[in-house]
Structure 1
Amino acid sequence: MMGGAVVPENPVRLLGRYALHGEIAVGGMATVHFGRLHGAIGFSRTVAIKRLHAQFARDPEFVSMFLDEARLAARIRHPNVVPTLDVVATDGELFVVMEYVHGESLARLIRQEVRAGRLIPPPIAASILSGSLQGLHAAHEARNERGAPLSIVHRDVSPQNILVGSDGVARVLDFGVAKAAGRIHTTQQGQIKGKLPYMAPEQLSPDGTVTRVIDVYAASVCLWEALTGKRLFSGENEAMILAQLLSMAVEPPSRFAPDISLALDQVVMRGLSRQPDKRFATAREMAVALERAVSRTASSAEVADWMESVAGAPLAARYRTVAAIELQTDAPSSEQLLHEISSMRKAPRTTGAVSASSLGGPASASPDHRMLGLDGSGPSQSAPLSPPSFASPKTGASRRFAKPALMALLVIACVLLGSLIAAFTGPGRGGTKPPPAPTATAPPTTREPPVRTIEPVPSATTRPEASSSSTATAPTASTKPPPPPRPTAAPAPRKNCDPPYSVDSSGRKKFKPECL
Structure 2
Amino acid sequence: MDVAGRRRAAAGRGADAGGALGGRARGGAAREVAMTPQALVEPARFGDRYTLIERVAVGGMAEIYRARQDAIAGFEKDVVIKRLKPELAGDDRVVDMFLDEARISAVLNHPNVVHVYDVGEAGGTPYIAMEYIAGEELTDLCRRGLQLGRFLPLPHAVELMRQAARGLGYIHAKRGKDGEPLDIVHCDISPTNLLVTEDGELKIIDFGIARSRHQRARDAAILPGKLSYMSPEQASRGPVDHRSDIFSLGVVLYEITLGRRLFKGKASDVVQRLREGDIPPPTFVRRDYPGPLEAVVMRALERHPEDRYETAYDMADELSEFLREADLRTGPLRIARYLDQLAAAAGGARRAELVAEAERRAAEAEDELDFDRGLFDGFRGAEGGSAEAAAEWDEVDEDTREIAAALGVAPDQLDRGGARVEALSAGRSGRIDGAAADAGGAAADAGGEGGAGAGGAS
- Normalised to the residue count of structure 1, the TM-score between the two structures is 0.57
1:99 maps to 2:205: no
Aligned to 2:297: 268
Distance 1:292 1:205, change over 3 A: same
Distance 1:232 1:311, change over 3 A: farther
Give distance in 1, aligned partners of 2:349 and 2:103.
32
Matched positions, count: 320
- Normalised to the residue count of structure 2, the TM-score between the two structures is 0.63
Aligned to 1:2: 10
1:290 maps to 2:322: no
RMSD: 3.0
Amino acid at match of 2:184: I
CA drift at 1:291: 2.0
CA drift at 1:305: 0.9
Aligned to 1:49, which of 66, 75, 81?
Answer: 81
Q: How far does the alpha carbon of each residue in 1:326-378 deviate from its partner, in whole angstroms, 9 at most, with x for none?
A: xxxxxxxxxxxxxxxxxxxxxxxxxxxxxxxxxxxxxxxxxxxxxxxxxxxxx
- Residues 106 and 160 in structure 1, CA contact (< 8 A), matched pair in contact too: yes
SS of 1:219's partner is helix
Distance 1:127 1:68, change over 3 A: same
- Give runs of aligned pairs for residues 154-169 of structure 1, distance below 5 A: 154-169=186-201
Amino acid at match of 1:18: Y
- Give runs of aligned pairs for residues 358-377 of structure 1, distance below 5 A: none
- Give runs of aligned pairs for residues 57-68 of structure 1, distance below 5 A: 59-68=91-100
Aligned to 1:89: 121
Percent identity among equivalent residues? Answer: 36
Amino acid at match of 2:229: Y
Amino acid at match of 1:277: E
SS of 1:182's partner is coil
Give distance in 2, aligned partners of 1:229 and 1:69.
32
CA drift at 1:145: 1.9
Distance 1:311 1:54, change over 3 A: farther
Aligned to 1:196: 227
- Residues 119 and 228 in structure 1, CA contact (< 8 A), matched pair in contact too: no
CA drift at 1:46: 0.7
Aligned to 1:73: 105
Distance 1:55 1:270, change over 3 A: farther
Give distance in 1, aligned partners of 2:172 and 2:142.
27
Amino acid at match of 2:228: P
Aligned to 1:231: 261
SS of 1:117's partner is coil
Give distance in 1, aligned partners of 2:44 and 2:86.
15
Aligned to 1:375: none
SS of 2:10's partner is coil
- Residues 56 and 425 in structure 2, CA contact (< 8 A), matched pair in contact too: no
Aligned to 1:328: none
Aligned to 1:428: none
- Give runs of aligned pairs for residues 78-227 of structure 1, distance below 5 A: 78-91=110-123, 93-184=125-216, 186-206=217-237, 208-227=238-257
Give distance in 1, aligned partners of 2:87 and 2:282.
42
SS of 1:132's partner is helix
Normalized per residue, the structure richer in strand is 2
SS of 1:118's partner is coil
CA drift at 1:275: 1.0
Give distance in 1, aligned partners of 2:254 and 2:87.
36
Amino acid at match of 1:221: V
- Residues 35 and 46 in structure 1, CA contact (< 8 A), matched pair in contact too: yes
CA drift at 1:99: 1.4
Aligned to 2:307, which of 255, 259, 278?
Answer: 278
CA drift at 1:157: 0.8
- Higher relative contact order, chain-length normalized (CA < 8 Å, sep 6+): 2
Structure 1, unaligned runs of 5 or more = 324-516
Give distance in 1, aligned partners of 2:88 and 2:181.
30
Q: How far does the alpha carbon of each residue in 1:395-429 deviate from its partner, in whole angstroms, 9 at most, with x for none?
A: xxxxxxxxxxxxxxxxxxxxxxxxxxxxxxxxxxx
SS of 2:177's partner is coil
Structure 2, unaligned runs of 5 or more = 1-8, 14-33, 352-422, 430-458
Aligned to 1:33: 65
CA drift at 1:68: 1.5
Q: How far does the alpha carbon of each residue in 1:60-113 deviate from its partner, in whole angstroms, 9 at most, with x for none?
A: 333212212221122122111111101232345432111111111111111111
